[in-house]
Chain A
Amino acid sequence: MDTFQDTVFKLKRYWADRGAIIQEPYDVEVGAGTMCPETFLRVLGPKPYRVAYVQPSRRPADGRYGENPNRLYKHQQLQVILKPTPDDVIDQYLGSLKAIGIDLAKHDIKFEEDNWESPTLGAWGIGWQVMLDGLEITQFTYFQQCGGIDLDLAPAELTYGLERISAFLQGVDSVYEMEWAPGVKYSEVRLADELQFSVYNFETANVDRLWRLLSEHEAECKELLAGYEKYPEKHRYPVLAAYDQVLKCSQLFNLLDARGAISVTERVGVIKRVRDLAVGTAKIWADQQQQEAA
């Protein structure tokens, strides 16, 4: 039986063998692997790219103090971007399941419509949730738009829910029961995280300060976005730093939301604030890429 990390190794190996760069997780908090620059920015423009990485994804509102066997404040996604999408992308995907030990002939696999959309990122795509014996194991998306920009190519994004897949492979009912490494349970590695961050996210995070931080990061981002036009050497311009600020804002929004601090009337407005930053960043990044190509 494969441990959690064995499964991760095998998936990374599988995609490395198919020409993907194996990246390490991004070091700014994100709600999903999609938000990492390796996806959000790389899918823009005509340049081919293949990348796979594990991304710990933080969703403050999903925390359950470590008490729910399947719900986590932070879970690990294996994110794969294939740009352009190979014609046999689904066969390749099914191959990855075989590679981690799933004998497809003995299981039931279905592709059920599930289109992905992120209002805060101005992004959407068309795709499916992949169901294995009734369990959603992967989100499969053909990106169509990102940061409000229609994509030149329509890259395929595969997002594997690693905890679910591994718990399935190990046949355990609770993610905390699965083996991360030989003799080491998931709970030993992560349970404290889940408990403490649930307490923080739901109970103790300082709402006033979070609002101030949101404004500060927003201001920093806006300043960076505003400076691009007049900056002479475009390729040096720190648009990537601006994008980090977008991620900070997005995470603060999620935290405030989990804290119940965003009222109805504010909500739409705050989402728009973050989206404006994401869209602005995408636009500059695309322009920078174009200048570089020229």
Chain B
Amino acid sequence: MSLDFLLEIGTEEIPHWMIPGALAQLTKVDLLGATPSVDATPRRLVVRAEGLPERTPDSEQVVKGPPITAGDKAAEGFAKKQGADPSALRKAGNYYELVKKISGRATLDILAESLPTAILGIQWPKTMYWTDRSGPRFIRPIRWLVALLGDQVIPIEIGGVRSGNVTRGHRILGANSIPVTIASYESELRKNFVILAAHERRHKIEKEGAALGAKLDGDLVETLTYITEFPTAIKGDFDPAYLELPAEVLTTVMRHHQKYFSVEDAIGLAPNFVAVMNTSGDPDGLVKHGNERVLKARFNDARFFWNVDQSKKLADRVGDLAKVTFQAKLGSYKEKTERVVALVKELGGDANAQRAALLSKCDLTTEMVKEFTDLQGVVGGLYAKAQGEPEAVSRAIYEHYQPLSMEDSIPSTAEGQIVALADKLDTLRECFRIGLQPTGSKDPFALRRSAQGLVKILVEAKLDYQLDQLVQGELREFMLDRVKHYFREVRGFKYDEVNAVLAAGCWTLADVEARLTALAEVRPTENFEPLAASFKRIRNILKQAGYSGGERILEGDFEQEAERELYRELERVVKVATDSREYRTTLAATASTRPSVDRFFDKVMVMDESPVVRARRLELLYRINMHFSTIADFSEIVTSGAAQDAGASKEV
């Protein structure tokens, strides 16, 4: 007979962003072969499964004993130690052995033993204790446990809480003590205003939000899904007079501080918001009124900050940056600003870019940014504009933290790009200088993000700085890693293609991108991989011969047609490369030489007895290697086994 399983870990409110990670771990919980399915609300982590065995099957274990030559005494001693009668021993070769029967165990017992460890074994970003210092650690206190196998309670205890068949409903709307069976569990919860399935809560938020005109955004929907057990959307209003404030400020207040969706109409932001409650309704309009009141106070603050901040221009705040710490060992933002301005100059930034760099961090001293830290940069840009700075300057300030993620766009102007580049580069250089490089999962200064942003800017803005001249030493290695990560994980190029292009010594990232694009296009053509395989061979031959170029050759020097043909092909490719200056065309031309290369290896013995003939042939290969490797180092291309075999004939 097979049994169903239910585990509900009842807790106090778990931080929403940690729940998906915990659920992923719970899908791996060992349920004797049954597949766990998981779900959660802020107050419960739930694992369910079907088809668990009632018991594990009986089994046998063979225990090896002493050698037969050791005699009866040893055999008796062995049997005694194993708790068996000596007559149960049998001989196997030169040894005694004992076949022990292991009876299967009841699943209930196994789970009673394993569940507490599985529960407390969940890894959380931060844990706490709530009984006493020697008590269990979890993300928040565990207050109840439902653990059922079929209709039986699996007896477990954590921190004084014993398992049972009693769950709890919604804090306010539901009952505090609800007996359940596995079959009735989810519907009982629903009756008590708990929607167990996250996808159902998500759908409810999206549907109701959309109906109220909410500008839905995925992150906020996800947050609200995991801070509610019974989400319900309501619409609130605010005084249109606040629409004078920048939309960025209003939406930040709504979205980030109050977790509201903003509402947009044809003209732009509308004087409304959509809030998601953790309750079933707002019959008296009290929740709407309360949220409107809070929002009004927040908007008032923002308006107050805006007005206060205008009393001192950004340009007059540079000196105040001395009081804002960048990093304890690296001093203040004033010092950082000075470095960034110098760097922008060095990188060829114009007067506007330099001005933007100078003002870029000044908003850190404003009341608005002290309150709404997410708006750093944005506020600076808005203030710069209001204070009459040129558009090129204000936009550069506004966008200089971009890209904040790989999905975010890079600054839209050349000035913004160069300021963003210099800012990130300075952070990276300085942190590496004083030994703050990320280690393992630790990256407190988000240097990976800075580096990733820097790579994205260099590529997408097609800036022609050479990365190896911007960064040295350990930082260069770190950046190289980020470059590879970017092209592989973000852009989806194959790892060997990325290695091949980088191995060709290309450090201008926009150029790396152009080469990769061409390479990825040409690679699936029939000649490419076999040619790449031949390249490894060419490399090996040159290496073994210790040949490093210099022989003068002409087509007429070669005796065999296969040699002359390859020589002509080489000339042709070089001409295509010079004429087209285009990677795809050049690579396609290179790939098309494959039959000639194959024929050459088929007909010609490179290591001829005559030193003159040998040198000419080596020179031919040397030039092929050199000219064909300028875009990408083909020997880095991982070819399929078949292609390699085809290439491996006489000489290796």
Question: Quick check: is A70 within 8 A (CB to CB) of the other chain?
Answer: yes
Question: Quick check: is B172 within 8 A (CB to CB) of the other chain?
Answer: yes
Interface residues of B (CB under 8 A from A): 12-13, 15-16, 42, 126, 128-133, 140-141, 143, 160, 171-173, 176, 227-228, 258, 260, 275, 277-279, 282-284, 286-287, 289-291, 293-297, 300-301, 304, 322-325, 328, 331-332
CA distance A110 to B13 in the complex (A): 9
Chain A contacts of B300 at CB under 8 A? 68-70
CA distance A106 to B260 in the complex (A): 19
* Known A112-B227, A126-B128, A152-B132: A134·B258 in contact at CB below 8 Å: yes
CA distance A175 to B469 in the complex (A): 59
Judging by beta carbons under 8 Å apart, are A260 and B323 in contact? yes
Chain A contacts of B295 at CB under 8 A? 134
CA distance A153 to B294 in the complex (A): 36
Interface string of A115-132 (1 = CB under 8 A from B): 100000000011010001
Chain A contacts of B332 at CB under 8 A? 264
Question: Quick check: is A26 within 8 A (CB to CB) of the other chain?
Answer: no
List 25 A-B residue pairs with CB atoms under 8 Å apart, sorted by A's residue number: A70-B300, A84-B131, A87-B143, A87-B160, A104-B172, A105-B172, A106-B286, A108-B275, A109-B278, A111-B13, A111-B42, A113-B16, A126-B128, A133-B286, A133-B294, A134-B290, A151-B133, A153-B131, A153-B132, A173-B293, A263-B322, A263-B323, A264-B324, A264-B332, A267-B325
Closest residue on chain B to residue A111 by CB atoms: B13
Closest residue on chain B to residue A263 by CB atoms: B323
Judging by beta carbons under 8 Å apart, are A90 and B12 in contact? yes
Chain A contacts of B12 at CB under 8 A? 90, 111
Chain A contacts of B143 at CB under 8 A? 87
Interface string of A237-267 (1 = CB under 8 A from B): 0000000000000000000000010011101
Judging by beta carbons under 8 Å apart, are B290 and A133 in contact? yes
Interface string of A256-281 (1 = CB under 8 A from B): 00001001110110000000000000
Judging by beta carbons under 8 Å apart, are B331 and A105 in contact? no
Determine which of A112, A115, A134 lies in contact with B126 in the assembled complex, contact meaning CB atoms within 8 Å.
A115
* Known A142-B128, A152-B132, A154-B129: A135·B290 in contact at CB below 8 Å: yes
Chain B contacts of A112 at CB under 8 A? 13, 227
CA distance A67 to B282 in the complex (A): 33
Interface residues of A (CB under 8 A from B): 46, 64, 67-71, 84-85, 87, 90-91, 94, 104-113, 115, 125-126, 128, 132-135, 142, 144, 150-154, 168, 171, 173, 260, 263-265, 267-268
Chain B contacts of A67 at CB under 8 A? 304
CA distance A69 to B303 in the complex (A): 12
Determine which of B126, B140, B171, B325 lies in contact with A109 in the assembled complex, contact meaning CB atoms within 8 Å.
B171
Q: Beyond the given A111-B13, A268-B325, please list 18 additional residue pairs across the A-B interface where CB-CB is below 8 A.
A: A46-B132, A68-B300, A70-B301, A104-B172, A106-B284, A108-B279, A108-B290, A109-B279, A110-B13, A133-B287, A135-B294, A142-B128, A153-B131, A154-B129, A154-B133, A263-B322, A264-B332, A268-B328
Q: How far is the CB of B459 from chain A (nearest CB, A)?
A: 35
Q: How far is the CB of A61 from chain B (nearest CB, A)?
A: 10
Chain B contacts of A133 at CB under 8 A? 286-287, 289-291, 293-294
Chain A contacts of B290 at CB under 8 A? 107-108, 132-135, 168
CA distance A90 to B144 in the complex (A): 14
Q: How far is the CB of B367 from chain A (nearest CB, A)?
A: 10
Judging by beta carbons under 8 Å apart, are B322 and A264 in contact? yes
Closest residue on chain A to residue B332 by CB atoms: A264
Judging by beta carbons under 8 Å apart, are B133 and A152 in contact? yes
Closest residue on chain A to residue B300 by CB atoms: A69
Chain A contacts of B297 at CB under 8 A? 69-70, 173
Determine which of B13, B128, B275, B296 lies in contact with A154 in the assembled complex, contact meaning CB atoms within 8 Å.
B128
Chain A contacts of B287 at CB under 8 A? 106-108, 133
Chain B contacts of A108 at CB under 8 A? 275, 277-279, 282, 287, 290
Q: How far is the CB of B350 from chain A (nearest CB, A)?
A: 31
Closest residue on chain B to residue A262 by CB atoms: B323
CA distance A222 to B393 in the complex (A): 52
CA distance A154 to B12 in the complex (A): 15
Chain B contacts of A265 at CB under 8 A? 331
Chain B contacts of A267 at CB under 8 A? 325
CA distance A94 to B12 in the complex (A): 13
Chain A contacts of B325 at CB under 8 A? 264, 267-268
Chain B contacts of A144 at CB under 8 A? 128-129
Judging by beta carbons under 8 Å apart, are A85 and B130 in contact? yes
Judging by beta carbons under 8 Å apart, are A142 and B293 in contact? no
CA distance A130 to B237 in the complex (A): 23
CA distance A46 to B134 in the complex (A): 12
CA distance A109 to B290 in the complex (A): 11
Most buried by B among A67, A109, A134, A152: A134
CA distance A135 to B126 in the complex (A): 26
Q: How far is the CB of A201 from chain B (nearest CB, A)?
A: 16
CA distance A115 to B127 in the complex (A): 11
Judging by beta carbons under 8 Å apart, are A68 and B301 in contact? yes
Most buried by A among B16, B130, B160, B289: B130
Determine which of B126, B176, B296 lies in contact with A126 in the assembled complex, contact meaning CB atoms within 8 Å.
B126
Chain B contacts of A134 at CB under 8 A? 258, 260, 275, 290-291, 294-295
Determine which of A107, A110, A113, A150 lies in contact with B15 in the assembled complex, contact meaning CB atoms within 8 Å.
A113
Chain B contacts of A106 at CB under 8 A? 282-284, 286-287
CA distance A69 to B301 in the complex (A): 9
Most buried by B among A69, A70, A106: A106
Chain B contacts of A113 at CB under 8 A? 13, 15-16
Chain A contacts of B141 at CB under 8 A? 85, 142
Closest residue on chain A to residue B43 by CB atoms: A111
Judging by beta carbons under 8 Å apart, are A154 and B324 in contact? no
CA distance A134 to B275 in the complex (A): 9
CA distance A205 to B324 in the complex (A): 22
CA distance A138 to B323 in the complex (A): 32
Chain B contacts of A111 at CB under 8 A? 12-13, 42
Chain B contacts of A84 at CB under 8 A? 131-132
Q: How far is the CB of B233 from chain A (nearest CB, A)?
A: 11
Closest residue on chain A to residue B326 by CB atoms: A264
Closest residue on chain B to residue A112 by CB atoms: B227
